[in-house]
Structure 1
Amino acid sequence: MRWTVHSERDLYRDQWVHVAAADVELPDGRRLDHRIVRTAAPGAGIVVVSDRRVLLLWRHRFITDSYAWEIPHGSIRPGEDPAAAAAREAEEETGWRPEGPIRPLVYSQPSPGLMTSEHHIFRADSARYICTPRDAFESDRVEWVPIDEIRNLIDKRHIVAGTTLVALLYLLSEGG
């Protein structure tokens, strides 16, 4: 059932995010003042697998004041191919350059009832160490985590970020 948008007004806008309020009408005739968060660019991430291990970053997220494992992920630059963006993010955040074919793994809209964010997630089956991470501020450490430990890390809430969860659960559903 499609909602009707009667109007929209800006609440906040900067280089990363645009927050708006929309006057929407539900199919039953009720009206709501609904919030919309528009992100500036789509995101790209990558699951790099080698020897039944996955390349992950141990990150602190100040918003939730929590630590957890995440896949390399970031914004796609204007005109940049999503797969190239995913590979670039991996190299900048981990120091490892994905090699071989980089193929689509899964596409996700993390919260389509609130935001326009879309994430293109890829998979690579090898990587070569290039240098220390250029964006060393991204994580406390970078490690190759055994695929067999992923489920346990999720259960212990050591993997909680939505995009990482979707990507790794999809990987597990494929048999790793």
Structure 2
Amino acid sequence: MSEWTVHGARPVYSSPWVSLDLVAVEPPGRERYEHHLIKLAPVAAVVLINDADEVLLMWRHRFATDTWSWEIPSGIVEEGEDLAAAAAREVLEETGYCVSAKSLERLAYNQPIGGMCTAEHTVFLARDGVRVADPVDTHEADAIEWRPLDQIQRMIDDREIVAGVAVTGLLQLLARRPR
């Protein structure tokens, strides 16, 4: 199969966080039509693990899906910001833990809605977290806890962890563990 032809786009809505375009596309062997394209800023996230083999998680409510679940620190990469620097900034703002952007290891990359969205998520692994302050973004979590890595697969299976960026990063960490 070959690439789709893009004939142009027209903006429908735009804000600092999201924009929506209608894009005129033509799949191979098909007629041209308008397809929705959601444009989102890239997201950087961190799986922070400690020496006791525990992962730092945040318990929070997501109004869009009306769900409660455990998540990893993550957020939008600001214009011109380095991915690792954004990831380290998000950890500090959301949890009060400081991690070195230079010591972050890339753990996972995904495009969660590739068929209609430009979203790109990069997850890093950090092992050097030090609590230095209270979280600045106090609205981000109702609880921040260290949870044993051995519980993570069960938590995903039981839908206690559902956010795509968290599931992706945590499953990658579990897949890379020595058996």
- C-alpha deviations, 1:21-74, integer Å up to 9, x for none? 1121111122332100011x3111111111211111111000111100111001
Percent identity over the alignment is 43
Runs of 5+ in structure 1 lacking a partner? none
Equivalent residue of 2:33, what SS?
A: strand
**Equivalent residues in 2 for 1:1-176 (5 A)?**
1-39=2-40, 41-50=41-50, 51-99=52-100, 101-175=103-177
- How many correspondences in the alignment? 175
Runs of 5+ in structure 2 lacking a partner? none
Of residues 149-158 and 26-35 in structure 1, the stretch that sits farther from structure 2 once superposed is 26-35
Rounded to whole Å, the distance in 1 between the matches of 2:85 and 2:9 is 35
Higher strand proportion:
1
Rounded to whole Å, the distance in 2 between the matches of 1:16 and 1:92 is 18
TM-score using structure 1 length: 0.95
Residue 80 of structure 1 aligns with an amino acid whose one-letter code is E
Aligned-pair CA distance for 1:134 = 0.6
Equivalent residue of 1:47, what SS?
A: strand
Equivalent residue of 1:137, what SS?
A: coil
Rounded to whole Å, the distance in 2 between the matches of 1:76 and 1:23 is 28
Equivalent residue of 1:173, what SS?
A: helix
4+ aligned runs moved over 2 Å, structure 1: 29-32
Rounded to whole Å, the distance in 2 between the matches of 1:66 and 1:72 is 17
